[in-house]
Chains A and B, each alone.
Chain A
Amino acid sequence: MSTVNRKTGLPGRFQLADWITHHQNLAAFLALAAMLAILPLWVTNNYQRSILVFIGFNTMLTVGLSLLMGYTGQISLGHAVFFGCGAYITGLLTARYNWSPWPAIVAAAVLTGLLAYLVGVPIFKLRGHYLAMATLGLNIIFETVVVTETGWTGGSNGLLGIPRLSIGPWVLKSELSYYYVTWAMTLAILAVSLNIVNSRVGRALRAIHASELAAGTMGVEVDAFKLKVLTLSAVYASLAGSLFAFYLQIVTPSSFSFIFSIELVVMVAVGGLSSIWGAIFGAASVTLLGEALRNIMPRLVRGASAEAELLAFGLILVIIMIFMPDGLTAGVAKRLRARRQARREAPGRTEQSADAMP
């Protein structure tokens, strides 16, 4: 993100509006960062702060999945695997081998990225339904392994004894400290991702999505780019998983089921498959909705468990994909624009393309 207005050389007071239109992404990013910095002044209760932390985790995951699925068009129904790898590797290294937190985070990211790369080589020979099913199968294999290999993972009881995250001598204990660390990492991921999508690389990814054939003949290294974007999104997921492990101090298999992978797809779909900003919106709204359902469902249906939110998620997914395949925000914006345009241009507008069609 460039910080200097190319036209004026400096962001002067009178050019503020002009500067914002030229740097929409940077302006939005700074606004978001500022808002996040002061948000805890209003959100003081620990429960609410913990929801904000989870929105942060989900945003990291969703931004990566959006790069992979929305921008590059490669479906993944197993993204929870990379989240789980990050969490388990971090947990194992710190709880069993007494690593300090930050080297463990880095090691988890490297190993998870490597795993994603190795899985990607064969799996990207597949497309469409087959890719969807293979990634889902991967998630189920992962679940089976972590439940079964109790010696390593603690099985269904979970991996216990994970220490708190610390920065130098400062050990993070409060919700607030995890809030800031999580969102600092999320913002870093966001900045990196925004830079990538608005670049040669981002164009290549979107080109692959639109037509692998045309992208290849235009010189885009299709296979290599798919692998790299998968690896990158896996690293994001691993970072989220690491923080998740330190935050909860316990890692259980149920957090990484394929249902969670699908929940991530819901978040991406709500935000609009190919939109980094949409990914945040999707992560926030679906996390909040899930939390609300978890509170409401038991009241509607006596004793209904949290998992009943599945019904709502499934319906949201179907409705959005049918009526707003570009996501909730884009869908609403498009409809509004279309209505406005229809009103403005109602009297007989000739189609530009009429004479050029064969």
Chain B
Amino acid sequence: MSVQAAVAPRTAQKSAQVVLEARRIHKVFGGLVAVNNLSFTVYEGEILAIIGPNGAGKTTVFNLLTGVLPLDGGEIIFRGHRLNGLPPHAIARLGMARTFQNVHLFDNMTVLENVMVGRHPRSRYGFLEAALRVPWARREEQEIREHSTACLELVGMADLADELAGNLPFGQQRLVELARALATEPACLLLDEPASGLSHQEVAALDALIRRLRDEQGITILLIEHDMHLVMGIADRVVVINYGEKIAEGTPEEVQADERVIAAYLGEDL
């Protein structure tokens, strides 16, 4: 079955549809400006990497996009909806999914159950239907299980479905988290340092998986990553931020040549 039934096939031209637009978004933590009037646009079907030195405000951007933190200024438009003030669950329902830098799995649940939670925004039966086990709730439960299994197969974790998520090694937890995000049928997938803590082989597999998600499922991907090899190989475009401000934007080749980027990364390997 198709994991990505809800999303239209991606358009060939890059110039096409805008999926997500951040307009002068701003965030302050107790006087410290974490994100400073940052604007960027994400087009349908592209892989956009956000890079920057540690503490540049990348994860804060993700938290603003997913409604985890409220905006202090600016606005976010996602598939025609203004996200300002929406709670995280409403944004998830609109088709935004994410993973976390330090993996937030539901440790007390099995791998499959974790992914099944990802089906939450695409199913609707509630307390009453669950309590009475009405037939359509059981049908929906069946759909949830099948779709979640399909997502686990996609990331190659189906044989560990009944393991407790908290017991898995870190690399596999990342994959489960990715499957959980995919189960929400995202139009846009936000990956927060998906390669950190992975071995070389695992990074290579991740690289292939991200490409597949974009090519076969048409998912637009926003990526925060420190592994520059991965970023430069996979990203269509790169946005570089430092101190919460955008200092460069362009193709991987363009940003690598940018003097401000080199200055910001002084001493770090690009």
Contact = CB atoms under 8 A, between A and B. Distances in A.
Interface of A: 1-2, 192, 195-196, 199-204, 206-207, 209-211, 213-223, 228, 232, 274, 352-353, 355-358
A216 B88 contact: yes
B27 to A, nearest CB: 17
Contacts of A232: 127
Contact of B106 (A1, A211, A219): A211
Contact of B196 (A192, A195, A207, A358): A358
B121 A199 contact: no
B149 interface: no
A297 to B, nearest CB: 38
Nearest to A231: B127
A201 B117 CA distance: 9
Contacts, number: 129
A195 B104 CA distance: 27
Contact of A228 (B127, B199, B202): B127
7 contacts: A195-B132, A200-B120, A204-B117, A217-B92, A218-B117, A228-B127, A356-B198
Given A218-B118, A357-B169, A358-B196, A203 B113 contact: yes
Contacts of B127: 196, 201, 228, 232
Report, nearest first, the 10 A-B pairs whose CB atoms are least far apart.
A219-B121, A353-B169, A219-B92, A216-B88, A358-B197, A199-B130, A214-B104, A210-B106, A356-B169, A356-B171
B226 interface: no
B50 interface: no
Nearest to B183: A218
Nearest to A219: B121
Interface in B168-212: 168-172, 180-181, 184, 196-199, 202
B106 A357 contact: no
Given A200-B120, A356-B202, A207 B106 contact: yes
Interface of B: 66-68, 87-89, 91-93, 97-98, 100, 104-109, 113, 116-123, 125-127, 130-133, 137-138, 140-141, 144, 168-172, 180-181, 184, 196-199, 202
B181 to A, nearest CB: 8
A199 B130 CA distance: 6
A355 B171 CA distance: 10
B131 A213 contact: no
A278 to B, nearest CB: 14
Contacts of B172: 356
A206 B106 contact: yes
A203 B88 contact: no
